Amino acid sequence: MKKQPNINFGAAILFLIFSLLFFVLLFRFISIQITGEADGQVLAAKAQQKYEREKTIEARRGTIYDRNGEVIAEDTVSYKLVAILDESMKPGYVKDPDKTAKKLSKAIDLEESEIYRILTKKTKDGKTPFQVEFGKAGRDLPLKTKREIEEMKLPGITFITDSKRFYPNGVFASHLIGYVEKKKTETNRTDTVGMLGLEQSLNEILTGKDGKFSYESDIWGYLLPNGDEMIKPAQNGKDVYLTIDKKIQTFLEDSMNKVDEEYKPKKMVAVVADAKTGDILAMGQRPSFHPKTKEGIEDTWHNEVIENSYEPGSTMKIFTLAAAIEEGVFDPNEWFKSGSYKVTENSKAVRDHNQGRGWGPITYLEGVQRSSNVAFAKIVKEKLGYETYREYVTKFGFDDPTGIDLPNETGGNIVYEWPLEKVTTGFGQGSAITPIQQIQAATAIANEGKMMQPHVISKIVDSDKKEVVKETKPEVKANPISAETAKKTRDILETVVSSENGTGYKRYNIEGYEVAGKTGTAQIPDPKGGGYLTGHENFIFSFLGMAPKDDPELIIYVAVQQPDIDLSTNGAEPVSKIFTPVMKSSLQYLNIEPSKKLKIKSEQTPEVEGLTIEEAKAELEKFGFEAIVLGKGNKVERQVPGNMYNLLEGERVILKTDGELTVPDMNGWSLRDVMKVAKLANLKLNTVGNGYVVKQNLKAGAALSEGDYLIVELEPPAQKYNEVETEEGQEETEEVLD
């Protein structure tokens, strides 16, 4: 009984405490219900944050196409190889690192020992990481490699789907197109960023904007049946169409590769332009690089066509000649004394390129053909006058960058203060200009006096809306000369190629087409100072030409710096081995009708067996026949067809020499001509298709042995220049289609 009052008192205390707690909780519950907040945070937002999921919808980088819609650069699916090492992921972890390394080394470019090291690596605190990657060797894997690894059924080896930039043509206008790299941002995401060329300058246009997909889920991440969903579509990057023509670019790359292999020059640049619009159809240089592997990128980061100015040499004489014709001061039949010429009493004499010997008294027409420096020095000083000529230098656009739609273009540097500097500018020395400036100026000569703005971008298309957001139209930049002057200039420049006196004689002749152009041999300043480099090969050899002469469709500029040539080899040879085949193939591909055809002057083939090669070729050419020499000998042992044989127009006469036989380049030949080679060399001939040769199994210039198999692939004229896809391109196509 005595304890009862204490018990009652304790119970009352507990009742009061629990009542107080109840009322506190009730108040808290009611206040949360009314305000929707707890600790200053909105509970609905916190719940949404906990149960709402968001996924990024990645934007596709825009595709770069050529003028005909052929892909030059695009995003494609790729795969990244990863290995799960955490044992808690049983059975999907790497159980046997030794076996896994051995098998993986057969599929990826990584040594077995290095793969084993990656699979057994530990973190700094000695723990096994959850997963590991394999660096560059495990990234950007094609579908073929992924399938090969999957067939190995290696536990713990899996893939992450990714995208990569695919360049199906390999080394292909690489400095113009550029390349991309993947870089991590501050938010720890990986973005594709353009690093050079158009990929860099158009990066914002090509990149696009990511979208997102938001949805409500349960605690395990599953989509709630009646949950809210929100989709913000990605804005894909815009597609860019270039003026570049894939086939013409391929002609150019192939020719440059051959010259690079044979002559190993320090540098080469080449540009093909549409004479009527200023559109750049092809642009290449050496050294170049592969945009996927970056091999060669360390040799030069610059687009030499637009970022490097140098003394042009005698190609500058084209514009000096045009200025003189426009001013009415050029008389092709007027005589002058060649050799050397002093501009002032105290100045250094201007000398012709044959050590100042000259050719005695010659006409100005012959002076152009022979590329006489004296002729052009006299034209600038005595015919045009310094001030007038300087105005034409400006009119032809040599003071300023062209404004081509490429990044980092530089302008020329016209040195025009002293009398000697003024006349040397007239024949391409002392002042520096860029190749693209020469192309721009040449459009005035080719296009009836209208100088066209050069472009490489044709149009930009919104790939989502299928709308053209920007389109480039042909733009006349200036009219430095009249149409009549342009025609007269081309007529004279054609004799540089067709006349025996011309510096471009024979090398730049193209059967069926008249070519107008000018050779150039520019000196290279000595980097140590004090003048120019000396030596037979220490020049920039070039040619700027257009065809067909009467109505030019194409302009091509080629420059080859310091090729590996001996004293018996003219520096024009490597240049012509780019210009001539590219111009010929491009004109044929564009279906430009020949302006003239070689006419056979005899109904029967002349007998040339027993003659020397030179005598035989001269005899055949006299009657309008094209001779193909088979071998390295000096005398003709046999000819096919023989005499008393009627040839078809365009048919070739094959001459077998008394020396080692070599394989001719039969690209573009008819089957009839191929059969002559097979007959003379006693080869086993197999053919595929009909029409004209587009591929041969025996490499041109290689030694021939009796009984060799000669396999040629032929196509009809309409398909003759279709490009064959590379193995890499085929593989990637499979990947995209999968």
Report the residue count for the chain.
738
| Pairwise CA distance, residues 672 & 692, whole Å | 10
C-alpha to C-alpha distance for 277 and 555, rounded to whole angstroms: 11
Q: What phi and psi, each to the nearest 5 degrees, are found at residue 736? A: -65, -40
266 in helix, strand or coil?
Answer: coil
pLDDT at 603: 58
Report pLDDT digits (tens) over 361-394: 999 999 999 999 999 999 999 999 999 999 999 9
Ramachandran bin of 421, using left for φ above 0, alpha for ψ from -120 to 50, beta for the remaining angles = alpha
Q: What contacts 500, CB < 8 A, 6 or more positions away? A: none
* CA dist., res. 260 & res. 326, Å (int): 39
Q: Which single residue is written with the structure tokens 């009493």?
A: 345
What amino acid is encoded at 274 in this protein? D
User: Do 444 and 451 touch, CB atoms closer than 8 A?
Assistant: yes
Strand-pairing partners, residue 656, are 630, 638
Q: List the beta strands (DSSP E) in 333-380.
A: 335-337, 340-341, 350-351, 361-363
**Strands 41-42, 37-38: pairing kind:** antiparallel
Beta bridge partners of 77: 163
Cα 164 from Cα 292, distance rounded (Å): 10
In whole angstroms, how large is the CA radius of gyration of the chain? 36
314, 372, 431, 458: the active-site residue: 314
* Residues 637-658 pLDDT 10s: 888 887 655 666 557 888 888 8
End-to-end CA, the chain: 92
Residue 448 dihedral angles phi and psi, to the nearest 5°: 55, 35
Q: Give residue 321's Cα distance to chain centre.
A: 32
C-alpha–C-alpha distance, residues 35 and 737, integer Å: 56
560 strand-pairing partners: 268, 541
CB contact set of 6 (below 8 Å; sequence gap of 6+): none
In terms of C-beta distances under 8 Å and separation of at least 24 residues, what long-range contacts does 98-104 make, across chains too? 99/154, 100/154, 100/155, 100/156, 100/157, 103/152, 103/154, 104/134, 104/149, 104/152, 104/154, 104/157
Nearest CA to 255 out of 272, 231, 240 is that of 272
Residue type, 326: E
**pLDDT at position 732:** 36
φ/ψ of 173, rounded to 5, equals: 50, 45
Catalytic residue status for 314 = yes
Q: Which helix (H) or strand (E) holds 506?
A: none
- Map out the domains of the chain as residue ranges: 4-51, 56-242, 264-285+310-454+477-576, 613-719
Q: Which among 538, 543, 516, 566 is positioned nearest to 269, based on CA atoms?
A: 543
- CATH 3.30.450.70 assigned to domain 56-242? The reply is no
Amino acid present at 208: G
Q: Omega of the bond prior to 548 within 30 degrees of 0, cis?
A: yes
Contact, 143 vs 733, CB < 8 A?
Answer: no
* 231, β-bridge pairs: 213
Architecture of the domain made up of 613-719: 2-Layer Sandwich (3.30)
Distances (CA, A) of 55 to 361, 470, 670, 716: 83, 32, 60, 53
CA distance 450 to 518: 20
For the chain, residues with pLDDT lower than 50 are 1, 42-51, 220, 718-738
264-285+310-454+477-576 is classed CATH 3.40.710.10:
yes
CA geometry: angle at 610 spanning 605 and 614, to 5°?
75
Question: Residue 229: which H helix or E strand, with range?
Answer: strand 229-232
Neighbours of 139 (CB within 10 A): 17
Nearest-angstrom CA–CA distance, 555 and 545: 6
Q: Which two tokens stand for residue 256?
A: 């440059």
Dump the DSSP string for 370-390.
Answer: TT-HHHHHHIIIIII-HHHHH
Q: What is the pLDDT of residue 429?
A: 94
Tell me whether domains 56-242 and 264-285+310-454+477-576 share a fold: no
Largest CA distance in the chain: 152
